Amino acid sequence: MEQTLILLKPDAVERQLVGAVLRRFENKGLRIKAMKLLSITPELAQQHYAEHLQKPFYPQLKEYITSGPVVAAVLEGPEVIAVVRRMVGVTNGLEAAAGTIRGDYSLSSQRNLVHASDSPEAAKREIPLFFGDT
């Protein structure tokens, strides 16, 4: 069964939307296989967002993702990577379709509540970064 990594980012925790977001995934039928609350260090941010290091928005992204606790979780289900990406919606909350998490809860391209692995290769790389011990 396929697995994906999700992060409920600092804005989701701050806005007390953790339960609302997790409920959507559970209602869909996806299983939570691992979950924890943690603070992302600058080093972990750099590893997790390696592909964005050279982007102009990276300094802001690092500030944001290290600004408060996040909830990291591994979700499991059939085609879970694509299913979760569709449920999360496109990056910019202003453009995300109504009915998606970002479409319903975000107005920002940065503070967009949830990260979700975008491919099997990304999931394979990202899950051990957060759950190397599982």
Using the rule CB under 6 A, is 115 a contact of ligand CMP?
yes
Q: Is 115 a catalytic residue?
A: yes
Binding mask 27-56 for ligand CMP (x = CB under 6 A): -------------------------x----
> Which of 83, 88, 115, 116 does the annotation list as catalytic?
115
Residues 6+ apart with CB under 8 A from 133: none
Site for ligand CMP in 68-97 (CB under 6 A): 91
Q: Distance (Å, rounded) from C-alpha 65 to C-alpha 106?
A: 16
Using the rule CB under 6 A, is 100 a contact of ligand CMP?
no
User: Residue 76 carries which side chain, given as an amino acid letter?
Assistant: E
Using the rule CB under 6 A, is 109 a contact of ligand CMP?
yes
Is 67 or 109 the residue whose CB approaches ligand CMP more closely?
Answer: 109
